[in-house]
Amino acid sequence: MEGSGAAGHSDAVLAENHQERDLETMSGNESRAKVVFLCGGQGAQYFQMGKELFGANAAFRACLLRGEEIFHGVAGESLLDVIFDPCRRKSDSFDQLEYTHPAIFLIQYALAQALAERGLTPDLVVGCSLGEFAAAAISGLAEFEDALVAVMEQADRIVRHCDEAGMTAILDGVELFDAEPALFADCELAAVNYARHFVISASRPVLARVEKALQARNALHQRLPVRYGFHSSWIALPDSARAGLALKPAQARVPIWSSAAMAPVSRFDADHGWRVLRSPIRFAETLQSIPNHAGHVYVDLSPSGTLSAFARNVLGVQSQRAIFAAMSPYGNDAQVFDAMLGGVLASEGRRFPEPSC
């Protein structure tokens, strides 16, 4: 395993010391709000995501092309041809894990590079589920190519070893899950995004039964475009496959917060990789664990912009003007991107350079 032995221990200690200094700064009384990037996972994807920005932003385009080269070298086919398939609409279900896993990772990493080119870099990165791999690469905890290949290999292992299942998001109090054991029989709690938004994993027949009951109650819910029951016992990998969930260690430039650990992490070993896949997402508790969490500026890198909506519900009205989505399925990518930069500028009183041609 990478990072074992004396050299690995030394690297881990250095990383922990580095992050401790960063956390002390986060807790300080500096006048400038910290910039927090949010990275999401499965369920945020859709066909054509990033297409307009690919044409309009050189840094974003260069990063996608770099990822395309890596993907093609491993898989022997084009990832961008799948994402930008002209025969597919945004509303079509995009749920083939061998494509969606690397696509979600790559879009978020490319957004971070496009923001860096405009002078906006994070003081902290929060990762949710698959988003922890993007967060690791953005923070420097892992190298970009290593993380992308690891995401591809993870998707391959899940497809080969795990039974298909599904996930459903429910807009109701999370206490409903424990209060109604008959309704949620054979379901597992996969995520708590805020007090009135949780996600369950189960087999498809069980999800259909639950959704029928919820519909009869007029309870809002949505099946996610995911073929597997992440963050539950539906993700079952042999030990040999789990060993490959580690990322090669690198020196993190900024802290990374894990929504599986609900705390900062300084290494991405196989145990943590397994926790990211199997443990429930605790997004609300993770945000609330960040020092001075209500006073920061949050930038959601997930393609759907869903984490920004979750963050508004977690952080409350005092933070509404400091939470932004870098991309949305409902608008032109370039316009959304520029509006987000303008919003961050207004929140922080900063100026950003014009994009390079």
The model's pLDDT over 133-175, given as tens digits with 9 standing for 90+, comes to: 999 999 999 999 999 999 999 999 999 999 999 999 999 999 9
Q: Is the pLDDT of residue 194 over 70?
A: yes
Alpha-helix runs per DSSP H in the chain:
5-27, 51-56, 58-75, 80-83, 97-117, 131-139, 144-161, 175-179, 204-216, 239-242, 270-278, 283-288, 306-315, 333-348
Answer yes or no: 232 catalytic.
no
> Residue 142: how many CB atoms within 10 A of its CB?
26
Domains and CATH numbers, the chain: 5-26+33-161+235-348 (3.40.366.10), 166-223 (3.30.70.250)
Cβ partners under 8 Å of residue 196, min gap 6:
171, 172, 173, 174, 313
What residue type is assigned to position 353 of the chain?
A: P
Share of the chain above pLDDT 70, in %: 87
Arithmetic mean of pLDDT over the chain = 89
Residue labelled with tokens 């083939």 = 96
> What CA–CA distance (Å, rounded) separates 163 from 268?
26
CB 50 within 8 A of CB 64: yes
> What CA–CA distance (Å, rounded) separates 285 from 287?
6
Given 129, 232, 266, 319, the catalytic residue: 129
Q: 203-249: per-residue pLDDT in tens?
A: 999 999 999 999 999 999 999 999 999 999 999 999 888 888 889 98
Residue labelled with tokens 């999370």 = 174
